[in-house]
Amino acid sequence: MPSASANYRTLLRTSGAAAFFLPAAVGRLGIAMTGIGIVWLVHARTGSYAAAGLVTGGFAVADAVAGPQLGRLVDRFGQVRVLPCALVAHAGAVALLLAGAVPDLVAGVLVGATLPQLGALSAARWSALLSGERGAALPTAFALEALVNGGSYMAGPALVSVLGAAGHPNAGVLLAAVLVVGGGLALAAQRLTMPPLTGHAERRHAGRALLRPAFLRQVALGLTLGVFFGAMQVSVAAYAVGRGTPDAAALLYFSSNCTNLVGGWAYGAWRHNGSPRRHQAAAAACLTLASLPLTVLDAPLAIGATLALTGLAVPVLLILTSVLTQSSVPRAVLTQAFTWGNSASAAGSAAAAAVAGRVVDAGGAHGGFGVAAGAAGAMTVLALGGRRRPRELSK
């Protein structure tokens, strides 16, 4: 098998690939910084974590609700026309938040509602670029996307936290906006790799594909994966605090995030023989088996090692969800389909954080880990239910 580095280099040497991928990666680092940046800014302004959480929650809900609508506009009018308008609106919303010109909650909602879905836009470009005979490289492309996403959510919040702890909370939000707007504008400038637009009649017919079981199953998988993320975040923090070592939470998150990157990198380099649905079911089953011990283990090293195992399976599920979403809808609604998956994951994470918090209050961190394991089990059931090959859709 060719080396992983060779696989990724070959992919990025595809004509036009690096020119859109790198700006999108820069913008996604900014996206990863935005939510935690709002937490630092609002807390510094009000002295209240409750207020910071409320504004950040409004930001997240607005992002999840508006994302598919922005994707729908992109599918209809194209990235080159829609993205600059969204970026200008986003810059204005961030300016309102920094200036305190409107209530923080209103500004947070506006920032979330205008945040462009750069990951979905990049994935749609990969789908268009690697169509036909080059489609076998799509899993590697989506693995590259997963690597960027994982790296962004490791580095971005850390960078914002450093700025906030140094007494510059405004700088974190401002830097995030600069990266989002700069990366987004550079992406919009790449016209050659923009997915081709389709006619009104084709879009109208294609919209029905968003209600078909093959696509809805992937949305449901995204939702349950979000539940897994949300429950894990709360449970790991509760475990560390419960042992009187709150700083250990960072180390536990780090162990999971590192293997997350390794898992995504390895899967992208692998020859992807066999059915993606079978791979998805196997990855979900592995995640379930890896999660179950967390409900009974107590030793920090055992918890850390088990979290590292779960981190190997998560990126594979993210990659395969993108692959199967791409194959289950026509290209006329592809951006919208990707954004629905992102929104479902965000909604699941937000809901699970609240539910797992109550479970942890009642039964400790192991109860929260049980919520995460239950979500992994639900993913396995959903993935096994999708192993029948659906009717191929025209792209």
| CA-wise closest residue to 86 among 19, 183, 206 | 183
H helices within 78-134, ranges in order?
79-99, 104-113, 118-129
* Cβ atoms 28, 152 nearer than 8 A: yes
Please report which helix (H) or strand (E) contains residue 19, including its range.
helix 17-46
For residues 137 and 254, membership in a common domain is answered with no
pLDDT at 395 over 50: no
Q: What is the pLDDT of residues 278-328, one digit of tens each?
A: 999 999 999 999 999 999 999 999 999 999 999 999 999 999 999 999 988
Q: Tell me the pLDDT tens digit for each residue of 121-150.
A: 999 999 999 987 788 888 899 999 999 988
Span 50-106, pLDDT tens digits:
888 889 888 988 999 999 999 999 998 999 999 999 999 999 999 999 999 999 999
Domain boundary among 165, 197, 229: 197
Closest CA to 298 of 218, 358, 365: 365
Q: How many helices (H) and strands (E) does the chain have?
A: 15, 0
Q: In the predicted model, what is the mean pLDDT of the chain?
A: 88
Q: Which of 127, 112, 101 lies closest to 37 in space, CA to CA? A: 112
Same domain, 128 and 229: no
Structure tokens belonging to residue 53: 């959480």
Q: Are residues 239 and 376 in the same domain?
A: yes
d(CA 242, CA 365): 8
Give yes or no: residues 190 and 250 share one domain.
no
**Beta strand residue intervals within the chain, DSSP E:** none
Can you give the pLDDT at residue 3? 54
Task: Based on the fold, state whether residues 229 and 261 are members of the same structural domain.
Answer: yes
Pair (213, 189) in one structural domain: no
pLDDT of residue 234: 86
Tokens 């699941």 locate to 348
d(CA 176, CA 89): 15
User: Does residue 116 share a domain with residue 145?
Assistant: yes
Which residue did the predictor score with more confidence, 181 or 156? 181
Q: Measured between alpha carbons, how far is 149 from 171 in angstroms, rounded to an integer? A: 22
Judge if 174 and 119 occupy the same domain: yes
Kindly report the CATH number assigned to the domain that includes residue 351.
Answer: 1.20.1250.20
Band of residue 4 on the pLDDT scale cut at 50, 70, 90:
low
**Confidence label for 387 from pLDDT (cuts 50, 70 and 90):** low
The type of residue at 119 is G
Same domain, yes or no: 67 and 95: yes
Rounded to an integer, the average pLDDT of 20-46 is: 93
Tokens of 309: 């195992």
The residue from 164, 197, 230 where one domain ends is 197
Per-residue pLDDT tens over the stretch 173-213: 999 999 999 999 999 999 999 988 876 667 667 767 788 89
Domain count, the chain: 2
Pair 248, 395 in one domain: yes
The confidence score (pLDDT) of residue 201 equals 64
Longest dimension (CA), the chain: 61
Pairwise CA distance, residues 141 & 268, whole Å: 7
Q: Give the type of residue at 8.
A: Y
Whether 115 and 213 share a structural domain: no
User: Which pLDDT belongs to residue 9?
Assistant: 85
Between CA 29 and CA 16 the distance in angstroms is: 21
* pLDDT at residue 382 in the model: 94
Pick from 170, 197, 224: which residue ends a domain?
Answer: 197
Look at 200 and 120; give whichever has higher pLDDT. Answer: 120
What span, in angstroms and rounded, lies between the C-alpha atoms of 223 and 306? Answer: 23
Q: Are residues 88 and 141 in the same domain?
A: yes
Range of the domain at 377: 201-395
